[in-house]
């Protein structure tokens, strides 16, 4: 009996030691990833002509920046899942705790379209992959709008990773957007709104739809805490039989043609403030993407 207990003790001890070693490896590796600096990435191209009004429209409606950075731009907590991460969006204004007093336009631009801070470290969770194609004029507009915001006095703690989040980073399952877009060149010129499908593709990308519904837009459990439903299939195999009107009503009222009330994680309350032309273009584009079964990213 005593021998059995001794063996069990040794096995348990070994498991604890192994677990501790794994923990240290994951901790060290994830820290190294988070602290890594990438070579100074220049802004994709010189900023274009900014319009504060256009910037406000992108910040509050098209790109839903307000969902994380709040409507005053002062940021704050937006996801509290300690096992995964405690997420705080930074204060983007020039108030105390904000980046506006020290960031140049190029610094803002590198953060937004490239996902890199001025010190070369990479932003986490901030969806720069969606914004890398943002036109020079639209990027300039967003920055002009951020600079026009009244200063907010709010110090937000940095993103704090939990054990699961660290594991995902150490194993490269959770990638930095800066790394995903490292090879992308300067953004192509923005398509004119008359070219509905191309314009819809542009709005869909900078609208962040692919960040949750997947690069191929077929949905699945791609982002967010575990209690959030999987993102829906937006390819023709999913919502393809909806009429334009049904699509518009779903996104402006938060209720789909089957009467299903959309989960609040789906940011329809900001998306609904896109212009009719923008929403129509998004649906025109969605109808052209290859159909895919649900949940295939």
Place of tokens 């004119």: 192
- For ligand HEC, the binding residues in 29-48 under the rule CB under 6 A are none
* Interface with ligand HEC, residue 200, by CB under 6 A: no
Among 38, 67, 106, 249, binds ligand HEC (CB under 6 A): 67
CA angle 204, 206, 209 (to 5 degrees): 45
Place of tokens 């957007």: 177
Left if phi > 0, otherwise alpha if psi is -120 to 50, otherwise beta: which for 281?
A: alpha
Nearer to ligand HEC, 42 or 229 (CB): 229
* Interface with ligand HEC, residue 68, by CB under 6 A: yes
Site string (95-134) toward ligand HEC, x via CB under 6 A: ----x--------x--xx----x-----xxxxx---x---
Burial class (CB in 10 A: 0-12, 13-18, 19+), 14: exposed
Chain centroid to CA 12: 41
Nearer to ligand HEC, 167 or 284 (CB): 284
Q: CB of 152: closest distance to ligand HEC in angstroms?
A: 14
Q: How far is CA 17 from CA 12, 24, 241, in A?
A: 9, 11, 56
**Residue 84: φ, ψ to 5°:** -90, -65
Asked if 120 and 33 count as a contact pair (C-beta separation under 8 A), the reply is: no
Q: What is the largest CA-CA distance in the chain?
A: 82
- For ligand HEC, the binding residues in 158-177 under the rule CB under 6 A are 158-159
User: Under 8 Å CB-to-CB from 284, ≥6 apart: which residues?
Assistant: 196, 197, 200
Nearer to ligand HEC, 10 or 56 (CB): 56
Site string (218-257) toward ligand HEC, x via CB under 6 A: -----x----xx-xx-x----x----------xx----x-
Nearer to ligand HEC, 140 or 167 (CB): 140
Asked if 185 and 41 count as a contact pair (C-beta separation under 8 A), the reply is: no
Binding site for ligand HEC (CB under 6 A): 59, 63-65, 67-69, 87, 89-90, 92, 99, 108, 111-112, 117, 123-127, 131, 142, 158-159, 207-209, 211-213, 223, 228-229, 231-232, 234, 239, 250-251, 256, 260, 262-263, 265-267, 271, 282
């Amino acid at each position: 009996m005593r021998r059995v207990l001794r063996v069990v003790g040794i096995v348990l001890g070994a498991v604890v030691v192994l677990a501790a070693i794994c923990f240290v490896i994951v901790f060290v590796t994830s820290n190294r990833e988070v602290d890594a600096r990438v070579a100074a990435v220049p802004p994709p191209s010189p900023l274009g002509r900014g319009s504060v009004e256009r910037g406000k429209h992108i910040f509050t409606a098209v790109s839903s920046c307000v969902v994380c950075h709040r409507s005053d731009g002062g940021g704050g907590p937006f996801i509290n899942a300690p096992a995964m991460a405690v997420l705080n969006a930074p204060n983007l204004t020039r108030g105390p705790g904000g980046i506006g007093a020290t960031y140049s336009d190029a610094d803002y631009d590198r953060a937004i379209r490239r996902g890199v801070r001025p010190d070369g470290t990479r932003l986490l969770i901030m969806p720069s992959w969606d914004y890398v194609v943002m036109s020079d004029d639209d990027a300039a507009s967003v920055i002009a709008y951020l600079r026009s915001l009244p200063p907010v006095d709010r110090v937000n703690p940095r993103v704090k990773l939990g054990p699961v989040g660290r594991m995902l980073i150490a194993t490269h399952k959770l990638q930095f957007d800066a790394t995903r877009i490292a090879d992308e060149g300067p953004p192509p010129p923005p398509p004119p709104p008359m070219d509905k499908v191309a314009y819809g593709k542009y709005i869909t990308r900078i609208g962040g739809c692919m960040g949750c519904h997947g690069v191929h837009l077929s949905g699945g459990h791609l982002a967010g805490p575990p209690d959030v439903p999987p993102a829906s299939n937006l390819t023709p195999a999913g919502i393809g039989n909806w009429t334009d009107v049904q699509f518009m009503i779903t996104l402006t009222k938060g209720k789909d043609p089957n009467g299903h009330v959309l989960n609040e994680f789906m940011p329809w309350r900001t998306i609904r403030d896109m212009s009719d032309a923008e929403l129509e273009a998004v649906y025109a584009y969605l109808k052209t993407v290859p159909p895919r079964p649900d949940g295939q990213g």
